[in-house]
A and B are shown apart, each in its own frame.
Chain A
Amino acid sequence: MAAVRLKNVVKRFGGFQIIHGANIEVDDGEFVVFVGPSGCGKSTLLRMIAGLEDISGGEIAIGGKVVNDVEPADRGIAMVFQSYALYPHMSVEQNLSFGLRMNGNPKADTERRVNRAAEILRIAELMKRRPRQLSGGQRQRVAIGRAIVREPQVFLFDEPLSNLDAELRVQMRVEISRLHKELGVTMIYVTHDQTEAMTLADRIVVLNAGNIEQIGAPLDLYDDPANRFVAGFVGSPKMNFMAAKVVGNDGGAVTVELANHCGAKLRKPLSGAPPAVGSEVVLGVRPEHFFEAGEGDCDIAIKADVAEHLGSVSYVYASAGASAGASAGPNPGQEELIIEREASRQRANGDHMVVSIKAGRSLLFDKSGARIR
């Protein structure tokens, strides 16, 4: 087991910088997930920890030892690849033992490690099969098994579940969680799927365009995002963002007018410096934080375009509806909102509804996306 420390890590490809000074501390035994959209640099960061990519600047330490110039095999890490990277011409058993055999590990110890991995992952009956004779889930187990036999200090996972179907993904997610508990080893996991990040991580690192946007526990990121990017990325369906304008400031709170909702107004208490009256802001509300009319601090009228019924809940995809009593905004009907409701067969396309927003269940962002607290 080992802690991993990234200090001002920079990566350049030619003249193009793709990681801009990453600082991350992963504690011993912690499960940290790097999450972000495609091309944000999360896989590159993982490959730099593994030693498969050179480091253009900064320092990476594993177990207190700087490993910038240490060979990948000597870093005490094991990696599970997105495409499994199994040796196609070898049996499962040979795949698991290949590295150990090539390095002259004693036969008895190799057997012990392979059997232990097979037992942990319940793949003992597959040992004689070739990768092409396995299902996607079984291949992924073998890939994880190959990492286990190395008995590493740190496990690295590079989008390991993205080639699996939805049901298998959920199952493997639970398996990986179980594995982490059983082995107690530091794990760093890369994914673009925020659900995977939320369910697996002790802490999440949210990346965007080579920058770390926020590091925190899953629910901290969900409840208290640092900026609009994190607020939009964490949570599914994603947070709704509504254009608004500051129309009043009474010291501890600002009043914002929702531009696309017929001038509906919300008074939002703030703890920090309030934005100037007249400035444009963005109000963020999660789909599950819309309440019945009159229950919140500000009612808005909407028209349901599409209703998705998932059984336990329904999602209403809505646009700004007709008059809610106030003057018309600049672009009525331009914003699409996703609203979570208790499952109801009655909601259908074209329904007019009034929903309510609570000041305490909404977030305010300035035009650049920074949070206004």
Chain B
Amino acid sequence: MRYQNATAYRFLAPYLLIFSIFWLWPIISSFLISFQATRTVPWRFAPTFNWGRLIGDPAFFNALKNTLLILVIQVPVMITLAIVMAVLLNSPLLKARGLFRFAFFAPVVVGEVAYSAVFRLMFNLDYGIINKLLNSVGLPRIDWFSNVTPAMGVIMIAVTWRWAGYNAIILLAGLQSIPQDVYEAATLDRVSKFKQFFYITLPLLKPIIVFCAVLSIIGTMQLFTEPFLITERGGPGGGTETLGLLLYRQGFRSLNFGYASAIAYTMAGLAIAISLVQLWLTRDPK
């Protein structure tokens, strides 16, 4: 090895050491554990024990269904909202742009427990502001946390509130990288602002939109905090249990690490597969 390379690796060594212990080893270890029966002592190698259970487990399919439901509804809504927010933030007519940019980004830095508690209060049956607003316009109040559909709605609203601004900021950076003279050329070509958005902005923003979508897909596949804290461990009756929550329940409540590892690998595999399909669908035609 050349001297310069050796020096570089010496500088990298502390990071590589920590990465190996706390990242690489758990990744490998959990993969191996997923092939072991961990409900017995000592653990024994049984390749079909966890993976076989996964295929026939109604709890797994319930969690998978919930996760995918959130994915197909919440992610497109959030990305659309983020694009609208980014376009508004980018408008030269907007005053106090810095303030809005901060306000949109703020939810990401708010503590998860605090924001979950606030959402629980807002959607409280008797005292929540949402039900009070519904009542004030003559609509009946909704028992948000006792029925599956409204509970799922709360989860989606909460996740959207938390991450839409974050995605809007990323999209805003993309918007600002589109040269102004392209729009000026279109203006001279008598292309309306509306058509400019659909025929110029969206196609040129596509790589950033795909990036945000892939990030969101990965995030949603791992969704844990909201169903854990807002709908109280995936309630009502597992109606909002996600794969992340099922993993936690199996691993850290039932201490069934083998099955939890199999679930974790399934989540990762699904996230990669969905992201690849997304990338393939939105690829640039040659």
Contact = CB atoms under 8 A, between A and B. Distances in A.
Interface of A: 50, 52, 71-74, 77-79, 81-83, 85-89, 98-99, 102-103, 146, 150
Given A81-B185, A87-B186, A102-B195, 17 more contacts: A52-B187, A73-B187, A73-B188, A79-B185, A81-B181, A82-B181, A85-B184, A87-B182, A98-B186, A98-B189, A98-B191, A98-B199, A102-B189, A102-B190, A102-B199, A146-B185, A150-B189
B46 to A, nearest CB: 53
Interface of B: 179, 181-182, 184-191, 195, 199-200, 203-204, 206
A20 to B, nearest CB: 25
A77 to B, nearest CB: 7
A72 B187 CA distance: 7
B233 to A, nearest CB: 46
Q: Max chain B CB contacts within 10 Å: which of A72, A74, A102?
A: A102
A146 B184 CA distance: 13
B204 A78 contact: no
B137 to A, nearest CB: 42
Contact of A78 (B187, B188, B195): B188
Given A83-B179, A89-B203, A102-B199, A52 B189 contact: no
The B contact surface, by secondary structure, is helix
24 contacts: A73-B187, A73-B189, A73-B190, A77-B188, A78-B188, A79-B184, A79-B185, A81-B181, A81-B185, A83-B179, A85-B185, A86-B185, A87-B186, A87-B200, A88-B182, A89-B203, A89-B204, A99-B186, A99-B190, A102-B195, A102-B199, A103-B189, A146-B189, A150-B189
Nearest to B190: A73
A52 B184 contact: yes
Nearest to B204: A89
B74 to A, nearest CB: 28
Contacts of A146: 185, 189
Contacts of A74: 190
A81 B189 contact: no
Contact of B184 (A81, A87, A89, A98): A81
A86 B179 CA distance: 10
B191 to A, nearest CB: 5
Contacts of B199: 98, 102
A28 to B, nearest CB: 21
Contact of B188 (A79, A83, A87, A88): A79
Nearest to A152: B188
The 9 closest A-B pairs by CB, nearest first: A99-B189, A73-B190, A85-B181, A85-B185, A89-B203, A102-B191, A81-B181, A72-B188, A85-B182
A89 B285 CA distance: 10
